[in-house]
């Protein structure tokens, strides 16, 4: 079971707020896991997009079916966007910690 992103939620996705709360390091594995989590969602997005566009072209009068496919795509995109924001958040915290330590970041 995946663990909760408590730091992300407590800081509302803001790396500048997180740097003040973070007392430990952000391991590169957190960034990698966030990236993998986002990448796992991409096939579902492609499938939902193709389904929606196919319905719009082949069955333009199937309003209920198109609306359901649109909702499915929207849900998949919301999950992807959350995963993307988490990835960017952890990258931002990591960079701010590097700046704090050495005054220069690698990214």
Cβ atoms within 10 A of the Cβ of 36, count? Answer: 11
CB 11 within 8 A of CB 20: no
Looking at the chain, the whole-number percentage of residues with pLDDT higher than 70 is 82
Q: Is the pLDDT of residue 107 over 70?
A: no
At a CB cut-off of 8 Å and minimum separation 6, what does 65 contact?
A: 55, 59
pLDDT in tens, 37-74: 899 999 999 999 999 999 999 999 999 999 999 999 99
- As a dihedral over the C-alpha atoms of residue 6, residue 11, residue 15, residue 21, rounded to 10 degrees, the angle is -80
| pTM (two decimals) | 0.77
């Amino acid at each position: 079971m995946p663990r909760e992103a408590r730091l992300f939620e407590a800081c509302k996705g803001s790396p500048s707020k997180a740097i003040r709360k973070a007392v430990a390091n952000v391991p590169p594995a957190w960034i990698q896991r966030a990236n993998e989590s986002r990448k796992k969602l991409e096939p579902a997005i492609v499938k939902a997009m193709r389904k929606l566009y196919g319905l719009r072209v082949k069955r333009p009068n199937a309003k209920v079916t198109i609306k359901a496919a649109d909702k499915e795509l929207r849900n998949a995109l919301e999950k992807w966007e959350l995963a993307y924001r988490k990835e960017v958040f952890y990258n931002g915290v990591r960079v701010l910690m590097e700046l704090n330590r050495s005054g220069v970041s690698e990214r």
